Amino acid sequence: MSDSAVPYFSVINHRGLVPKPAHFEIMDEGATLSLGTLVPEGEYAAEVLSALEVIPLFCIPERETTVNTSTDGSLPAEAYRLEITPDSVQVVAGDAAGAFYAVISLLQLALQYRAEIPLLKVIDQPRYSYRGQMVDVARSFLTVAQIRDIIDAGAAHKLNILHLHIIDDQGWRIEITNEGREDGDDTDYTALHRIGSTTACQSGEDPGFDKPEEALGVVVDYHNDFSGVAQGHTGYYTQAEFLELRDYARRRHIEIIPEVEFPGHNHVVMHALPQLATAGASVQAQVNEVGESTVPAWTSWQVGHSYLDFNNEATWAFARHLFRQMYRLVGDTPLHLGGDEAMHMIVKLGMEGYLKAMNRVLQIARETGFSQVILWEEGALMDLGPSDTVQFWTTQYGEELLEKLNQRVLETGCSLINSNAHHAYLDQKLSLDDPRGLTWACPEGLPTETSYNWNPDEDFPPAVQAHLQGVEAPLWGETVRGLDDAFYLMYPRLAAIAEVAWTPQADRDWEDFSARL
């Protein structure tokens, strides 16, 4: 946990176990274990210590309680058994992640029972292997300390993925060095973070939509606007800071998946490297009064306009350099390639032009070493394979695209992530009276109950459901200006989605969940 412990603790301090375990049984009514300072023993002692960094231990400090940890090879990945006995805690797990989740449950129980824990048994494992949240730091930057709190809150709810959206039109948030440039490439790629990190979303006083009367119509009808939303925050992560965040997350059994945007959502690239804003791009560089090529920053909230010039070989040199740098940071973990909302590009170049560019992007990622990539649903028609994943998010493009998505999943054998915006988009308003949040997917707001009462399987036909890895809840950053805004929009809806991702569908009940919050 970072120093901002008050908002952090408020989102993890529940009345009961969240997410709900598969099996929970009190063994002896009235008998308890008086929990003391934990003394970890056995194979997973490190997981006990990692969990203690996530949830503070409520205990009787003058006592000590042994936590015995061991492996049961018959248990699946991430599964565990937790038993509270009269004099110790027993943790048996299928792997290190399962042991970590067992101790997370123990620490939740300690808060719930104020250190006097009934003798009980928990047998548990997740419904889905992919349980994610996405945070958009491109539109408005969040600091390393704030991301640590977001990681810890996710770990407290047994999430295992943090999808970090680090590049978009409005800002570039990762340090890129010139190390490893190809022979003959004299591009100063440090401009990407030196210049690209200095911009962010403009304030809600003027979001900058192309058609303000249409884009704002819904919220104006509800007597609301975005005037309370300040200018976005700027900044970037050094590569050392990113590696520290990666390792911090991995100790909590969370993998950070960075997203680098192609073919659109990348105006910031041309702002930082105007030599890439050539004839085939969405914008062309202009020469200023001192003879320098420039491309103005894009701080509007509007999406769908930007794309690079894929007939310019310098664009591909940039892509190769970026992927090599990202591979050094994350290795062969999945890389998110974006692929969404290239509306103006498709209008100008057609779907054929879009697919030609994106398949070459995919090829470069493969050649760099990325064996697994993730794409938003618009990328479903690309040359994907069984190791790749498509992320479903909207039906706004019509049923035809959804049918194509389902068909391509079956043809390619790729996996699916469900981020249905009508249930999982955390940037949708909690309250229509608050300027934070949008309404394009949920005109009346997205209450926690709607996020909870969702069966992700049912968004797909039975044959496709077998390819569903899990769910992810995105938080886009148009109205997020710090950790308070992020946690306001995330919780308790992310706690609800964490239970959707972990607990068997048949065992979930809204009233029961509400009572445990």
Any alpha helices (H) in 377-436, and if so which ranges?
399-412, 421-424
User: Which of the 8 DSSP states describes residue 204?
Assistant: T
The two most distant CA atoms of the chain are separated, in Å, by 82
Q: Which of 288, 263, 289 is nearest to 276 (CA)?
A: 263
CA 315, distance to chain mean position in Å, is 27
**How far apart, in whole angstroms, are the C-alpha atoms of residue 389 and residue 414?**
5
For the chain, helix (H) and strand (E) counts, in that order, are 18, 18
**How far apart, in whole angstroms, are the C-alpha atoms of residue 106 and residue 109?**
5
**Residue bearing tokens 């937790």:** 82
Give Rg (Cα) of the chain: 24
Asked if 138 contacts 235 with a C-beta cutoff of 8 angstroms, the reply is no
The dihedral built from the CA positions of residue 407, 408, 412 and 415, taken in this order, carries a sign that is negative
**How far apart, in whole angstroms, are the C-alpha atoms of residue 98 and residue 51?**
11
Kind and range of the H or E run holding 161: strand 161-165
Question: Which residue is catalytic, options 341, 378, 472, 499?
Answer: 341
Does 341 qualify as catalytic in the annotation?
A: yes
User: Which of the 8 DSSP states describes residue 202?
Assistant: P
Residue 461 backbone zone (phi > 0: left; psi -120 to 50: alpha; other: beta):
beta
Q: Which of 102, 499, 501, 505 is nearest to 516 (CA)?
A: 499
Q: What's the one-letter identity of residue 326?
A: M
List CB contacts of 17: < 8 A, sequence separation 6 or more.
24, 105, 108, 109, 112, 122, 516
Asked if 418 contacts 374 with a C-beta cutoff of 8 angstroms, the reply is no
Q: How wide is the angle at C-alpha 369 spanned by C-alphas 350 and 242, nearest 5°?
A: 95
**How far apart, in whole angstroms, are the C-alpha atoms of residue 120 and residue 48?**
19
Residues involved in catalysis:
341
